[in-house]
Amino acid sequence: IKVPSAYWLDTKSKIRGEGTKTMEGILKDAAAKSPPQLVTFIVYDLPNRDCHAKASNGEICCAYLTDGSGRCDYNAPGDCAAGVEEYKSQYIDEIVSVLQEYHDKVPIVLVIEPDSLPNLSTNRADARCGNSATVAAYKTGITYAVQRIGEMAPGASIYLDAGHGGWLGWKNNMQDFVLTIQGLGVAQH
């Protein structure tokens, strides 16, 4: 049985390369089919990723713990400038570079940073999600991802995750989420 699935781009190493363990290889394979197959990717490597559950910590941090573990220090304040720059230049720009080759040859859907914006709306009281660095990373990173992909690979479809009703179903959570989305300025993409 063949069951379609989405491919998670949860590390920078999954963007370029041959074979079906990289974005580039998957798109090359899909483009060789007649007709080209729909490909769905999950874009998932924000700085301070998964701030509330800490179940799937990413490789990019706003600040690192001083214990040498390479893990994120979710309590460090700041604007996450270094983490956001790494996310932009080494992750999103690399994805865009690959998309530019295939967005008009293969139907592509990109799910952008699932759970991230819902986490901001529902977990602001959690210091890991509500601190200035994480908020800046999520808002700046997602805005950049949507705008850059929308401008440079307009043939790709973009889905911006909104969690689910059980998560955002309370009035204050939904209002905060709507204001967050409106503040990103990405509606045209």
- What secondary structure, in 3-state letters, does 62-83 show? CCECCCCCCCECCCCCCCCHHH
Check pLDDT > 70 for residue 54.
no
As to burial, measured by CB atoms within 10 angstroms (0-12 exposed, 13-18 middle, 19+ buried), residue 153 is: buried
What is the rounded distance in angstroms from the CA atom of residue 158 to the CA atom of residue 180?
A: 17
pLDDT of residue 79: 96
Beta pairing partners, 112:
43, 160
pLDDT of residue 163: 84
User: For 6-20, 24-38, 96-110, 124-138, which range has the lowest pLDDT when averaged over its residues?
Assistant: 124-138
Beta pairing partners, 157:
109
pLDDT of residue 126: 85
Percent of the chain with pLDDT over 90: 68
pLDDT of residue 167: 79
What is the rounded distance in angstroms from the CA atom of residue 143 to the CA atom of residue 131?
A: 18
pLDDT band (50, 70, 90) for residue 128: confident
What is the rounded distance in angstroms from the CA atom of residue 170 to the CA atom of residue 123?
A: 13
Per-residue model confidence as pLDDT tens digits over 89-105:
999 999 999 999 999 99
Percent of the chain with pLDDT over 70: 97
* Section 115-125 average pLDDT: 86
What is the rounded distance in angstroms from the CA atom of residue 39 to the CA atom of residue 43?
A: 13
pLDDT of residue 55: 62
Beta pairing partners, 40:
109
In the block, tokens 């941090």 appear at 61
